């Protein structure tokens, strides 16, 4: 059944992005308050343990916040984006949700993976 995963790739080097902090939060409906559900860090492969496991995945609006500035600073670069937030909606909690992030110091891209 459902889960939420991610991975981060540095597109400037073509290598996984290691050590990026990621927070996952769910929007509390109705309203504008976010409740943090988990925090993880990417490993040497740019991945982390599942952000949400099946019993945690519910229908709703979620946000992944990737702390990119410390990663770039660690590589001796500055980044135009100090963090990246990706907001998305889960309508069928039984599905697997994989939300990759591709980063460079001056751009980022995300998509729904499989």
Residues marked as binding for substrate?
Answer: 7, 47, 111
Q: How confident is the model at residue 2, as a pLDDT?
A: 84
**Are 114 and 7 a contacting pair, CB within 8 Å?**
no
Output the CA torsion sign for 28, 95, 112, 24: positive
Domains held by the chain: number: 1
Q: Whole-prediction pTM value?
A: 0.94
State the residue range of the domain holding 57. Answer: 3-110
CATH number at residue 9: 2.60.40.180
> H or E segment at 108?
strand 107-110
Task: Write the pLDDT tens digit of every residue in 6-33.
Answer: 999 999 999 999 999 999 999 998 888 9
Rounded distance, CA 104 to CA 112, Å? 19
Residues marked as binding?
Answer: 7, 47, 111
Q: Which residue has the higher pLDDT, 28 or 1?
A: 28
Q: How confident is the model at residue 98, as a pLDDT?
A: 96
């Amino acid at each position: 059944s459902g889960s939420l995963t991610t991975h981060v790739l540095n597109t400037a080097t073509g290598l996984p992005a290691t050590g990026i902090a990621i927070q996952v939060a769910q929007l509390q409906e109705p309203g504008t308050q976010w409740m943090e559900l988990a925090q993880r860090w990417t490993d040497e492969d740019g991945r982390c343990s599942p952000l949400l496991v099946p019993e945690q995945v519910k229908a709703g609006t979620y946000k992944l916040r990737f702390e990119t500035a410390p990663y770039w600073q660690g590589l001796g670069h500055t980044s135009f984006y100090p963090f990246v937030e990706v907001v998305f909606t889960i309508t069928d909690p039984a599905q697997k949700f994989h939300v990759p992030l591709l980063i460079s110091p001056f751009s980022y891209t995300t998509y729904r993976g499989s």
